[in-house]
Structure 1
Amino acid sequence: MEVRLHDIGEGMSEGEVVQLLVNPGDVVTVDQPLLEVQTDKVTAELPAPIAGKIEDILVSPGDVIEVGSIMVTIAPTEQFQQATESEEHKSRKHHRILAAPFTRKIARENGVDIERVKGTGPAGRVMDEDVINHMKTSVKKPEPIQHKKAERKEESSQPSSKTIPFKGRRKQIAAKMSKSRLTIPHVSHFDEVDVSNVLEMKALLEKRGTSISVAAFYIKAVCIALREFPVFNSELDEKEGVIHLKPFINIGLAADTEEGLIVPVIHQCDQLSVKEIHREMKRLYEAASTNKLLSKEMSGSTFTISNAGPLGSTGATPIINYPEAALMAFHKTKRMPVVGEGDEIVIRSMMNLSMTFDHRIADGALSMQFTNRVMELIEQPALLLMELK
Structure 2
Amino acid sequence: MLEVKLHDIGEGMTEGEILHYFVKPGDQVQSDQPLVEVQTDKMTAELPSPGSGVIKEIIINPGATVTVGTTLLIIENDDKRANQQQVEATQSLPTNSNTRILAAPYTRKIAREHGIGLDDVKGTGPGGRIIDDDVYRFIKQKEKQTTIASQVLPSTESNQRKEAVPVKASSIPFKGRRKLIAKKMAQSLYTIPHVTHFEEIDMTELLTLVKELKQLEKPISVPAFFVKAITIALSDFPVFNAKLDEEKERIHLESEYNIGIATDSKDGLIVPVIHQANQKTIKDIHREMKSMIKKAQENSLTSKEISGGTFTISNVGPLGSIGATPIINYPETGLIAFHATKEKPAVVRGEIVIRSIMNISMSFDHRVADGATAVAFTNRFKEMIEYPNLLLLELV
TM-score (norm 1): 0.82
Tell me how far 1:327 sits from its aligned partner.
0.3
Note if contact 2:24-2:55 (Cα within 8 Å) is conserved in structure 1.
no
Note if contact 2:111-2:118 (Cα within 8 Å) is conserved in structure 1.
no
Could you tell me which residue of structure 1 aligns to residue 82 of structure 2? 80
The alpha-carbon distance between structure 1 residues 161 and 60, as it changes in their structure 2 partners (threshold 3 A), is farther
2:362 is the counterpart of 1:360 = no
The alpha-carbon distance between structure 1 residues 186 and 22, as it changes in their structure 2 partners (threshold 3 A), is same
Q: Aligned ranges for residues 167-246 of structure 1 at < 5 Å? A: 167-246=175-254
Could you tell me which residue of structure 2 aligns to residue 151 of structure 1? none
Q: Aligned ranges for residues 277-296 of structure 1 at < 5 Å? A: 277-296=285-304
2:327 is the counterpart of 1:315 = no
The alpha-carbon distance between structure 1 residues 388 and 165, as it changes in their structure 2 partners (threshold 3 A), is farther
Q: How many residues align?
A: 366
Structure 2: which 5+ residue stretches go unaligned? 125-129, 150-165
The alpha-carbon distance between structure 1 residues 88 and 206, as it changes in their structure 2 partners (threshold 3 A), is closer
Distance in 1 separating the partners of 2:392 and 2:181: 36
Q: 1:275 aligns with which of 280, 283, 295?
A: 283
Distance in 2 separating the partners of 1:292 and 1:267: 17
The alpha-carbon distance between structure 1 residues 55 and 116, as it changes in their structure 2 partners (threshold 3 A), is closer
Q: Aligned ranges for residues 90-239 of structure 1 at < 5 Å? A: 99=107, 101=109, 104-105=112-113, 107=115, 114-115=116-117, 125=135, 160-239=168-247
2:308 is the counterpart of 1:300 = yes
Distance in 1 separating the partners of 2:202 and 2:90: 71
Distance in 2 separating the partners of 1:103 and 1:61: 24
Identity %: 46
Once the two structures are overlaid, the 10-residue window that deviates more, 94-103 or 19-28, is 94-103
Distance in 2 separating the partners of 1:13 and 1:196: 48
Could you tell me which residue of structure 1 aligns to residue 3 of structure 2? 2
CA RMSD of aligned residues (A): 3.6
Note if contact 1:20-1:60 (Cα within 8 Å) is conserved in structure 2.
no
The alpha-carbon distance between structure 1 residues 55 and 349, as it changes in their structure 2 partners (threshold 3 A), is closer
The alpha-carbon distance between structure 1 residues 181 and 27, as it changes in their structure 2 partners (threshold 3 A), is closer
Could you tell me which residue of structure 2 aligns to residue 71 of structure 1? 72
2:53 is the counterpart of 1:53 = yes
The alpha-carbon distance between structure 1 residues 294 and 69, as it changes in their structure 2 partners (threshold 3 A), is same
Tell me how far 1:261 sits from its aligned partner.
0.3
Q: 1:247 aligns with which of 230, 250, 255?
A: 255
Tell me how far 1:39 sits from its aligned partner.
4.2
Tell me how far 1:83 sits from its aligned partner.
1.8
Cα deviation digits, residues 185-242 of structure 1 (max 9, x gap): 0000111100111111111111211000011111111110000000000000000000
Tell me how far 1:292 sits from its aligned partner.
1.1
Could you tell me which residue of structure 1 aligns to residue 355 of structure 2? 348
Tell me how far 1:13 sits from its aligned partner.
2.6
Could you tell me which residue of structure 1 aligns to residue 391 of structure 2? 384
Note if contact 1:20-1:34 (Cα within 8 Å) is conserved in structure 2.
yes
Could you tell me which residue of structure 2 aligns to residue 15 of structure 1? 17
Letter in 2 for 1:53: G
Could you tell me which residue of structure 2 aligns to residue 147 of structure 1? none
Q: Secondary structure at the match of 1:84?
A: helix
